[in-house]
């Protein structure tokens, strides 16, 4: 990770950790599962705009985030995120340049964070996972770290203008999953199973 990314990550983490601890009684379970060094692909469920800073607060190392490229059209977004070390990705699944950059960063030892649902859940339940993360992990030869964020949906669900304080949030970190010998379909199934074991909400059969 670029030096300024590490610097601003540390500063940002101080602010977000204090906020989440005081406003949402943040608890982190399984933090020891996160490797402190080496290439790592972090995958998490996506239920709220709070999810990226929650991941950064909960895990013990800087993360490279992968926001959608269309956000760069906003001047306010560009100003607010200028100090951060980001890798923007087109959401059409054909961003070969971003794939190459992310594989390179993983091989160089960075920890990259992805939300394989690609968009926030509208009801707090897990949406289908796209297999792009499995391709990245396989090409880079790095482990996949499953993380489940619980409570962020109640704190700031999609469609609500601002977060609500007092809603407790827990981040659960699972054991790393090796990508060696797994095809994309198998890796998606393993991560879905890990999410389930970590307490991700699932819709009842026949639900929307």
CATH number, domain at 90? 3.40.1130.10
Query: How many structural domains comprise the chain?
Result: 1
Assess contact for 120 and 158: CB atoms under 8 A: yes
Q: What is the DSSP letter of 125?
A: S
Residue 164 lies in a domain: yes
Band (pLDDT 50/70/90 cuts) for residue 12 is confident
- Please state whether the predicted TM-score (pTM) of the whole model is above 0.95: no
Is the pLDDT higher at 199 or at 88? 199
- State the pLDDT at residue 70: 85
Percent of the chain with pLDDT over 90: 70
Cβ contact 177:190 at 8 Å: yes
The pLDDT of 193-201, averaged and rounded, is 97
For residue 142, being part of any structural domain is answered with: yes
pLDDT value of residue 182 = 77
Residue 204, domain member (yes or no) = no
pLDDT band at 153 (very low <50, low <70, confident <90, very high): very high
- Per the domain annotation, does 96 fall within a domain? yes
Residue 154: inside a domain: yes
Tokens of 98: 């971003």
Please give the pLDDT value at position 8.
73
In a domain, 203, yes or no: no
Average pLDDT rounded to a whole number, residues 32-55: 96
Average pLDDT over residues 186-200: 97
Q: What is the mean pLDDT of residues 94-99?
A: 82
Mean pLDDT of 63-86: 83
> Could you give the CA distance from residue 77 to residue 65 in angstroms, rounded to a whole number?
14
Whether the pLDDT of residue 208 is over 60: the answer is: no
CB atoms within 10 A of CB 69: 15
Per the structure, the complete domain to which residue 101 belongs is given by: 3-197
């Amino acid at each position: 990770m670029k030096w300024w990314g590490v610097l601003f990550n540390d500063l940002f983490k101080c602010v977000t950790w204090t906020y989440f601890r005081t406003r949402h009684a943040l608890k982190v379970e399984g933090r020891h599962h996160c490797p402190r060094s080496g290439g790592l692909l972090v995958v998490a469920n996506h239920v709220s705009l709070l999810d990226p800073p929650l991941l950064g607060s909960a895990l013990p190392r800087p993360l490279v985030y992968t926001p959608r490229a269309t956000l760069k059209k906003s001047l306010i977004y560009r100003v607010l995120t200028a100090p951060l070390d980001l890798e923007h990705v087109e959401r059409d699944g054909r961003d070969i340049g971003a794939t190459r950059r992310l594989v390179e960063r993983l091989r160089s030892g960075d920890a990259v964070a992805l939300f394989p649902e690609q968009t926030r859940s509208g009801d707090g339940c897990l949406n289908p996972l796209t297999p792009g993360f499995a391709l990245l992990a396989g090409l880079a030869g790095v482990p996949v770290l499953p993380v489940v964020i619980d409570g962020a949906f109640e704190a700031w669900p999609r469609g609500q203008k601002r977060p609500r304080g007092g809603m407790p949030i827990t981040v659960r970190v699972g054991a790393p999953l090796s990508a060696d010998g797994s095809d994309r379909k198998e890796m998606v199934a393993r991560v879905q199973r890990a999410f389930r074991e970590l307490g991700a909400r699932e819709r009842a059969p026949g639900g929307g």
